[in-house]
Homo-oligomer: A and B are copies of this chain.
Amino acid sequence: MPRVITHIDRADLDLVSAFADVGVATTHEAQGRTGLLHHRLTPRQQATAIAGTALTCEVPPGDNWMIHVALEQAQAGDILVVSPTSPCDDGYFGDLLATSAAARGVRGLIIDAGVRDIRTLRDMGFPVWSKAISAQGTVKETVANVQLPIVCAGQLVSPGDVIVADDDGVCVVPRASAAEVLQVARERAAAEEEKRLRYAAGELSLDLNPALRSDLLRKGLLFERQ
């Protein structure tokens, strides 16, 4: 039978929040190029980055009942992660649910389906990453799991995991490895700053990293004048 798990362990919120500055691309790289949700989840606003703890919610096709149930489980700092049990683009979430979610401290919505009232969501500043924008209404007839591990857009998300979302998409970091990944991500970001300065000055990546160039010849790449 479908279940709602009412007490789950969340990653530490200060730690979690720090991922917003690091961003999706760097986080994804820092954990060995894993955890990226499929890019069909598109940001529905620009220049917005958030990080929070996953509040997971399964929904049947065309049925948003469980989102109402999930909001009762929300804590400040959560990000609502919704996945349909079979592919669906209906408009599961609109301005009323966003109002309720924001009032309970939810930082945003990740949904492998559709949302509606998108203009109001933008005006409210409630950020959304979704597969579709669709006004198609839903019913409240069938129960499903809340706060259990789900697959969302190709990635396993467990309740309390770290969710990072920005203009590049959405990434999940398992709760247990959050501190380590953040550390690696910050080191990577620092190293990139140094490279950026040299690139901006006109240096080539092939010269910053000579192995990049010598390996080309070893692999047989030919340089010709035509």
Q: Does A118 have its Cβ within 8 Å of any Cβ on chain B? A: yes
Q: What residues of chain B lie closer than 8 Å to A1, measured between beta carbons?
A: 32, 220-222
Name A89-125 residues within 8 Å CB distance of B: 89-91, 94-97, 99-100, 102-104, 114, 116-119, 122
- Verify B212–A33 contact, CB threshold 8 A: no
- Verify A216–B69 contact, CB threshold 8 A: yes
- Verify B139–A60 contact, CB threshold 8 A: yes
Instruction: Determine how close the nearest CB of chain B comes to the CB of A226; give it in whole angstroms.
Output: 5
Q: What residues of chain B lie closer than 8 Å to A99, measured between beta carbons?
A: 196, 199-200
Given A6-B225, A142-B139, A224-B4, also A96-B192 (CB < 8 A): yes
Q: Does A78 have its Cβ within 8 Å of any Cβ on chain B? A: no
- Verify B216–A28 contact, CB threshold 8 A: no
Q: Does A183 have its Cβ within 8 Å of any Cβ on chain B? A: no
- Verify B141–A142 contact, CB threshold 8 A: yes
Checking B2, B206, B224 against A5 with a beta-carbon cut-off of 8 angstroms, the contacting residue is B224
- Verify B61–A135 contact, CB threshold 8 A: no
Name A111-164 residues within 8 Å CB distance of B: 114, 116-119, 122, 132-137, 139-143, 149, 151, 154-156
- Verify B137–A28 contact, CB threshold 8 A: yes
Question: Which single residue of chain B is at the shortest CB-CB distance from A150?
Answer: B156
20 A-B pairs whose Cβ atoms sit less than 8 Å apart in the complex: A3-B222, A5-B225, A7-B225, A25-B91, A25-B117, A29-B137, A34-B85, A36-B135, A38-B87, A39-B134, A39-B135, A49-B119, A62-B86, A91-B168, A96-B192, A99-B199, A102-B200, A133-B167, A143-B221, A151-B154
Q: What residues of chain B lie closer than 8 Å to A15, measured between beta carbons?
A: none
Q: Does A72 have its Cβ within 8 Å of any Cβ on chain B? A: yes
Task: Please measure, in the bound complex, the distance between the C-alpha atom of A221 and the C-alpha atom of B1, giving whole angstroms.
Answer: 7
Query: Which of A60, A88, A122, A135 is packed against the most chain B CB atoms within 10 Å?
Result: A135
Question: Which single residue of chain B is at the shortest CB-CB distance from A221?
Answer: B143
Instruction: Determine how close the nearest CB of chain B comes to the CB of A190; give it in whole angstroms.
Output: 13
- Verify A199–B103 contact, CB threshold 8 A: yes
Task: Please measure, in the bound complex, the distance between the C-alpha atom of A95 and the C-alpha atom of B166, giving whole angstroms.
Answer: 15
